[in-house]
Amino acid sequence: MYGTTCLVLENIALDESTYSQRGDAAFSFKLLMSFDFAFILHIMKDVMGITDMLCQALQQKSQHILNAMHLVTTTKTLIQKLRDDGWKTLLEELTSFCKHQDIEVPDMDSCFSSVG
């Protein structure tokens, strides 16, 4: 779906009749092709995957309160595990995705300095 969205935006940026539509599509395409967007996309995918079961269970009217509390605790534990141990896996998946989509990956070993 990501690749198709990028292709559609790229086509609009090149072929659309109005300057405004071309500009909007070009700007959106540039954002979609950024490492920052891909990073947020992958974090959201992981967090939403963890919280999906809890959300589905809480929507059931017949949910027992003890079961719901257990699901909240389990979800909290899984999110903490993602925070503590999931960085390497996330970065590997993200790097692979970026290479496949031709998105420039910043050097994570270089020094960072903010221009202030």
Q: What is the DSSP letter of 106?
A: P
Encode pLDDT of 52-98 as tens digits.
Answer: 988 888 888 776 778 888 888 999 999 999 999 988 899 999 999 99
Terminal alpha carbon distance of the chain? 38
Name residue, tokens 């959201």. 44
Encode pLDDT of 99-113 as tens digits.
Answer: 998 899 888 777 766
Write the DSSP string, 20-78: HHHHHHHHHHHHHTSHHHHHHHHHHHHHHHHHHHHHHHHT-TT--HHHHHHHHHHHHHH
Write the CB contacts of 47 (distance below 8 Å, at least 6 apart in sequence): 79, 82
Predicted TM-score of the model (pTM): 0.74
The helix-helix angle for 19-32 and 2-15 (nearest 10°) equals 150
